[in-house]
């Protein structure tokens, strides 16, 4: 019963921009499928994950664009094509915002300015 309004929105064929926002719990569930490679917080922190790009703290529109391009084939990577294929526009937007909002462990120049 909880999903009835969402199904109604889908059946009316409303565009993603007008769809209900995805509840945070659902976004977290989706993000869990990314965690093996990108880390739970998007920082690709473990040695095994270091081969995968960090998502945390990147611009959300950059992340969203990358996901759309993996889906369309504009950016080619067999792993990410498979991950992006089932995502709806709304899910891409939600996941991109989620990872963009995570505190990033990307290096910035301040670290090097401190003589590190």
**Footprint of ligand HEC on this chain (CB under 6 A)?**
30, 33-34, 36-38, 52-53, 55, 58, 63, 66-67, 75, 77, 79-80, 83, 95
Structure-block tokens of residue 31: 């993000």
CA distance 17 to 99: 19
Tell me which residue has its CB nearest to ligand HEC. 34
Give the residue carrying structure tokens 């529109």.
61
Closer to ligand HEC by Cβ: residue 38 or 102 = 38
Q: How far is the CB of 80 from ligand HEC (least distance, A)?
A: 5
Sorted by sequence, the CB contacts under 8 Å of residue 9 that are 6+ apart come out as: 18, 19, 20
Closer to ligand HEC by Cβ: residue 9 or 57 = 57
């Amino acid at each position: 019963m909880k999903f009835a309004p969402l199904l109604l929105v889908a059946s009316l064929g409303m565009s993603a921009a007008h769809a209900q926002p995805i509840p945070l719990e659902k976004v977290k569930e989706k993000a869990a499928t990314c965690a093996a490679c990108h880390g739970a917080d998007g920082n690709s922190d473990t040695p095994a994950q270091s081969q995968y790009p960090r998502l945390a703290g990147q611009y959300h529109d950059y992340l969203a664009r990358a996901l759309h391009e993996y889906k369309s084939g504009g950016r080619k990577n067999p792993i990410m094509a498979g991950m992006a294929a089932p995502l709806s526009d709304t899910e891409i937007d939600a996941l991109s915002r989620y990872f963009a909002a995570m505190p990033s462990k990307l290096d910035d120049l301040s670290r090097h300015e401190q003589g590190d």
